Amino acid sequence: MEERYKIGKGWPIWSPSDEFNDVLRRGLLRPARHDGLRGEIESLVKLHGEHMEARTTYYDSVVETLDTAFQSAKVNAVGGEERPLRSVIGLDFRDDRFHLAIAGDVDGWIDMLKQLQGNADAANARVQWRTMIPTTEELFYEIQNQTSDAYRAYQGSANALLTQATKIRDILDRAIREAG
């Protein structure tokens, strides 16, 4: 399905549309002839709830880990004073750039951090980036490692939701073919 690319970005895979919610609210799947489909839809709704919970856990894990990692990472000011990276790059870790970069690859992370370093330099941060400990790459792997369990749970929930959605699509496609 076209939503599969979102898994690699840590995004929610699906949100019920108004039409979907209307079908459920109005009880259009109550007739006995819809028993099978109704059961599959109930499974989809349950899996969606589990997916949103796993996605929220992953998101919160990234925010917390980013904050901790940026607070513990150090960089030297031009005068030699050691400063927490968080004080130099004081962004909101709920910013999607962080989540996309950490869910991506190390090259995307390095590019994003270079942009943030440039922004800090433009704001007169006056730090020596080559003194940063851990390095940009090491910071990526540290954050990725600390969020990997939550990310795997998120991926598993997303895949289960997409599998169920595909199953329902196939059921509906078959019903349409047989009716026509």
Q: What would the pLDDT profile of 62-78 be if each residue is shown by its tens digit? A: 999 999 999 999 999 99
Asked whether residue 121 is assigned to any structural domain, the reply reads: yes
Residue 26 in any domain: the answer is: no
Asked if residue 31 is part of any domain, the answer here is: no
DSSP, residue by residue, 70-98: HHH-EEEETTS-EEEHHHHS---TTSHHH
Distances (CA, A) of 98 to 23, 110, 124, 150: 37, 11, 22, 16
Q: Which amino acid is at 17?
A: S
Q: For position 60, what pLDDT does the model report? A: 93
Rounded CA gap, 164 and 40, in Å?
Answer: 8
Q: Is residue 55 within 8 Å of residue 10, measured between CB atoms?
A: yes
The residue to which tokens 């047989």 are assigned? 178
Total number of domains in the chain: 1
Q: What is the pLDDT of residue 38?
A: 93
Q: Residue 140: inside a domain, yes or no?
A: yes
Domain that holds residue 46: 37-179
- 145 within some domain: yes
> Which of 145, 147, 159 minimizes the C-alpha distance to 51?
159
3-state secondary structure 4-71: HHHHHHCCCCCCCCHHHHHHHHHCCCCCHHHHHHHHHHHHHHHHHHHHHHHHHHHHHHHHHHHHHHHH
Residue 119 domain flag = yes
**Residue 27 is assigned to a structural domain of this protein:** no
Can you say how many angstroms the Cα of residue 126 is from the centroid of all Cα atoms in its chain? 33
Quick count: other Cβ atoms within 10 Å of Cβ 68? 15
In a domain, 43, yes or no: yes
Residues of the chain whose pLDDT is less than 50?
none
Q: State the pLDDT at residue 99.
A: 73
